[in-house]
Structure 1
Amino acid sequence: MDTDSKIFVTGHRGMVGSALVRRLHAGGYANILTAGRADLDLLDSHAVHAYLAREKPDYLFIAAAKVGGIQANNLQRADFIYQNLMIEANLIHGAHLAGVQRLMFLGSSCIYPRDCPQPIKEEYLLTGLLEQTNEPYAIAKIAGIKLAESYNRQYGRQYVSVMPTNLYGPNDNYDLASSHVLPALLRKAHEARLRGDESCVVWGSGAPRREFLYVDDLADACVYLMEQGYDGDLVNIGTGEDVTIRELAEMVMATVGFDGRIDFDMSKPDGTPRKLLDVGRLAALGWRARTPLREGLRLAYETAPFRN
């Protein structure tokens, strides 16, 4: 990428999109396009196609998506599959029609089978059944990967897909009804400390293992791949290390300064037993995550909006 390249980042107000914009600005890229929902409805194919035809970006990062935790995914199944299918289809097809040659589609590690071997290699995609609680979202993301692959094969485009592990950091969603586990724990622990509670409730058994990546590390990996001109197969982006939910909860409590006990609500679902990405392909390309989990938790807590 040249520093004067026109780069369109969708979802720029979200956690991932805003991190991409920060990283691009830090790298000296000044010609960055963004469009809020009021300016461009990504569910409207005509509007998306017209925007891309008019702006003709050199690069497109698809960071826009409808996202949420276990409860939101499970209860809003139709919304998750419909909106994500529409967003990615409108953008990928619109990019092709506008002559955009370079595009990066950001997926999710939930695309992989629920019980596939660990750590998860990219080639495990479509080798088993998905986790039921977020199956609609996963299917939409798989469709996005295959859509990008299909435009590459039929039209010679360079549309790359990357699969981040669980993300956290600035501009995360801290709504307890729809957030993921890490931001939910940060807010729960913070509010429990303020109330002087003796305990903090954590969903599930605490046994599942999860990998967490600071969102600015993700943005750095995405820009790195674009700068390197990577146009190969699907790439996992993660740390290559995981922790149990119990261990995560203990780290969160220490970060927040809550010294009460942790109570696990066994009536709530655990989700996938383990989800650790194999990041060997990315490491071979010359990139590794830099932010340790404890440091990332501190940074995330310092920027959390519920502290204001």
Structure 2
Amino acid sequence: MKSDLTMTSRRCISALSLFMSTCLLTLAFDGVAAADEKTLSIPAVVAKVRPSVVTILTRGMPAIPSQHGPQSGSGSGIVIDITGYVLTNNHLVEGVTSLVVGLPTGRLTPGRVVARDFLLDLALVKINAQDLVPATLKQTASLEIGETVVAIGNPLALKGGSTVTVGVVSALDRSVLTPNGETLYDLIQTDAAINPGNSGGPLVDLAGDVVGINVAIAPSAQAISYAIALEAVYPHIHSMMMQGSVTRPDFGFTPVTVTPSIAASFGLDAERGVLALNVDPSKPAGTAGLQTGDVITALDQHQLYNMGDFWHSVMRGGDQPPVQFTIHGHGGQTTLTVPRPPGQKPFP
């Protein structure tokens, strides 16, 4: 009897072990299948996204007054809506007098700028075309440092369609100072090769979803490129489509970055900060005591260098308690407690 029980126990243990092994293998294969559903090969990513990438060809007035005649330029864009909205960079379309969009099919079609925002370096272009393929936009951040990403665009306006480069996410939440003195925030740093003409094109993950808009390179370095994180701009796309602009809280004044020329024009002794103009005494900043000509040098004790710093700090604060403005004015330095404008929504 003892021997029979032992044999039976051994058979049960063997059967249980086989069952558990089978379950583990099933779970393992299920996990691989789930991962495979989220991760495409590079060619598959390109095949998914490339039909949504367009070339933007522009002609406009020269940025330097001494240059004569219209200047030509080129960049990239992303079809985001079947009705013909194309997302790109503001610096590509600023000051243009005419704009043509090159479709993936090779056809050229006129375009018009319907919304711009120089602080986010975003613009929307509208075209009339059939059979457009909108890209898939990733609304929430899920990128990790070291993750593989693919940049697609039209560097140097080369013939034969868009160019593909591959790299990794080198860093997240970068900020860089632009040539116009403003700061770009919420940038993804990558080592994917980006060249003139890539601006406005998509940075995508291995699911083929757009996670960023390629915007700049570090000219004094190698393998350092930047893309605006789509998560930061996604909340503004709807207002750009519907209203033609980015909706920002109304504190009741016009903020202007203090530059040497601005300081000289207004007789300011502040070297940095945000100059307050057109202060409305009936709105939050005015009721708190802000006056036209005051310079805001800090917000919630964080130093401000330009208008981009100001709006980034305010919108990141969402619907939190009142904002503390550090003011440099004619009466010296003071601090104002400014209530947030009604209806301001948290910014992700």
TM-score range, shorter chain: under 0.3
More strand by share: 2
- Higher relative contact order (Cα pairs below 8 Å, separated by 6+ residues): 1
TM-score (norm 1): 0.26
Largest Rg, 1 or 2: 2
Greater helix fraction, Structure 1 or Structure 2: 1
